[in-house]
Amino acid sequence: MSETDEYVLTRARVLLPDGRLEPGSVHVRAGVIAGVLAAHGAGRDVQRIDLDGRIVAPGLIDTHVHGGLGFNVMSADGDVVRAIGRRLRAAGVTSFVATTASVPFEQILRSVRGLAALTGPTEADGADLLGIHLEGPFLSPDFRGVHRRENLIEPEPARIAELLAAAGGALRICTVAPELPHAESAVRTLTEAGVRVSVGHTAATFEQARAAVGWGARRATHLFNAMPSIHHRNPGPVPALLADEAVYLEIVADGLHVAPELIGALAAMPGVRDRLMLVSDGTDVSGLPDGEHRRWDGTEVQVSGGRAFTRAGGIAGSTSTLIDGVRVLLTAGVPLEIALTAAARNPARSLGLADRGAVAVGHRADLIVVDDDATIAHTIMHGQWERP
């Protein structure tokens, strides 16, 4: 099918923007959703596709992707980005944000310029690149994870200006540790430029994290990971980020980064559920076999049982996909509609995207068709079909 084709998905269960699953149909015309629950306006000669009770949900949106299949987005190579996009689409992801690491600043600028030039719709067989998530170099040395200490710097105004100029509007997200010098100025400047600032890789206190939200921060980078644990007399940043309804919360739901039981508890909280966002944090080694591998930034990692670790035994990012995260939530007792919303609707809202992330009239026909166990039967992007 091409995006100019018109068809109706019938006998489906449709995940609506309010999180309900309702029986009905979805009418697609010229790559856009033309009708939901009833095929109003579809002529009798329009093709009808019987889904036999399967679920139609928005295409998944991954706002934290470093790479995959041995490739890293920071190469800013069009072939590499397309290869990563094809792998993501095969796993139900129709849009993604390319995420950087902490390397020398001039190298970051080169990557940002290159990725900015690649931002936008990709070829029909790959997920769309929405822009750039700068994860590093404005991070705490004490909570840097696998980011190299020697590449961490303070978010000085001149550095922020250079990054914004290099990105040319393609910088979507920037992770900042709010306790660093110049952090307030950086958060305010980035926010004014339309960038979503994310609190992460931080040693911040409760008060410092709350202050960052007051400056304009609206996200948390992989909540619980690379930040102090909660203590009842020294709560740290996590409770401050959980408590503020303006903050969207990244969760790496691979069964390793955060206990599934904890994610299940968060998903059961109405005030938190609508802000919970699944991210893959997928790295270069995603999709590679078990064994020793070297990442693009030079980090040596060991993939064992499909999980990536540093030589010292620390977690080295994730090898999972968003749909894997949806399945992890199912094992924790989270209803499928909530898990899918956390992988599509909530990420779209976190970035202010008004044309995707929901099965709604006028939205792009970026959709997935899934079974009750979150097995993907079809990925539809720009109205086009692809079988995994």
Does 90 show up as a binding residue in the annotation?
no
C-alpha to C-alpha distance for 323 and 51, rounded to whole angstroms: 20
The alpha helices in 193-335, defined as continuous H runs, are 206-215, 237-243, 260-267, 270-273, 322-331
C-alpha to C-alpha distance for 163 and 113, rounded to whole angstroms: 9
- Closest by CA to 56, choosing from 31, 33, 30, is 33
C-alpha to C-alpha distance for 253 and 277, rounded to whole angstroms: 10
Does 135 show up as a binding residue in the annotation?
yes
Partner residues linked to 381 by β-bridges: 384
C-alpha to C-alpha distance for 287 and 156, rounded to whole angstroms: 37
Does 233 show up as a binding residue in the annotation?
yes
Does 201 show up as a binding residue in the annotation?
yes
Q: Cβ distance 176 to 211 under 8 Å?
A: no
Q: Cβ distance 186 to 199 under 8 Å?
A: no
Does 226 show up as a binding residue in the annotation?
yes
Ramachandran area for residue 271 (φ above 0: left; ψ -120 to 50: alpha; else beta)? alpha
- Beta strands at 71-72 and 67-68: parallel, antiparallel or unpaired: antiparallel
Does 146 show up as a binding residue in the annotation?
yes
Which is the catalytic residue, given 128, 281, 284, 366? 281
Q: What are the backbone dihedrals phi and psi of residue 337, each rounded to the nearest 5 degrees, phi first?
A: -65, -35
Does 317 show up as a binding residue in the annotation?
yes
- 281 noted as active-site residue: yes
Does 222 show up as a binding residue in the annotation?
yes
Q: Cβ distance 74 to 361 under 8 Å?
A: no
Query: Which strands, in side-by-side order, build the sheet including 248-252?
Result: 60-65, 93-99, 128-135, 171-176, 196-199, 219-220, 248-252, 276-279
C-alpha to C-alpha distance for 62 and 344, rounded to whole angstroms: 8
Q: Which residues are annotated as a binding site?
A: 135, 146, 201, 222, 225-226, 233, 257, 315-317
Q: Which residues are annotated as a binding site for substrate?
A: 146, 225-226, 233, 257, 315-317
Q: Which residues are annotated as a binding site for Zn(2+)?
A: 135, 201, 222
Kindly list the catalytic residues: 281
